[in-house]
């Protein structure tokens, strides 16, 4: 009888421990905060705004272990095939308030698309890569700050803006 109580106690304790939230917990979220469809809408919107029409781009929501440490997104592209895949962090792995997650994921998409725009530039060394990251972050932040109702952004999206 004592053995049975001990086994039941251990099973109960292990269930509680295994159910504890963790950024590395590999269980799927039953009710996602952001859907693949929403991510795809942001991708299409910003792909259009950044005039990347000739590219076939897909976006995926991935878990924290599918990204490099300390990153929220990643892009991989093939210039010769004009294809790219963007990975964005799953909302269940975020460490910020849920009310800020959607904007952060959209920002990650914009950030990665700006990297794609700059992919034509050569990168000679680590300094070039670090400098690109700073510039990409500044550009993506500025674009997100314009907002959907900005006349400049609306003109650029409709083809009315100047391009150099």
Question: Structural domain boundaries of the chain?
Answer: 34-150
109 contacts: CB under 8 Å, gap ≥ 6: 39, 42, 43, 46, 59, 73, 86, 88
> What per-residue confidence (pLDDT) applies to 121?
80
Distance CA 45, CA 53 (A): 11
What dotted CATH number matches 34-150?
3.30.2010
Nearest to 88 by CA among 127, 40, 125: 40
pTM of the model: 0.68
> Is residue 161 pLDDT above 50, yes or no?
no
């Amino acid at each position: 009888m004592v053995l049975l109580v001990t086994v039941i106690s251990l099973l109960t304790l292990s269930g509680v421990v295994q159910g504890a939230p963790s950024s590395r917990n590999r269980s799927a979220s039953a009710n996602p905060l952001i859907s693949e469809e929403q991510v795809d809408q942001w991708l299409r919107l910003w792909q259009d705004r950044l005039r990347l029409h000739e590219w076939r781009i897909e976006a995926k929501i991935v878990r924290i272990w599918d990204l490099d440490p300390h990153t929220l997104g990643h892009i991989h592209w093939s210039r010769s095939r004009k294809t790219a895949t963007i990975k964005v962090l799953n909302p269940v792995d975020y460490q910020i308030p849920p009310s800020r997650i959607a904007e952060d994921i959209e920002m990650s998409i914009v950030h990665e698309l700006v990297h794609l725009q700059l992919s034509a530039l050569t990168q000679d060394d680590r300094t070039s890569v670090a400098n690109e990251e700073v510039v990409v972050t500044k550009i993506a932040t500025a674009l997100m700050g314009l907002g959907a109702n900005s006349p400049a952004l609306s003109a650029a999206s409709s083809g009315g803006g100047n391009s150099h």
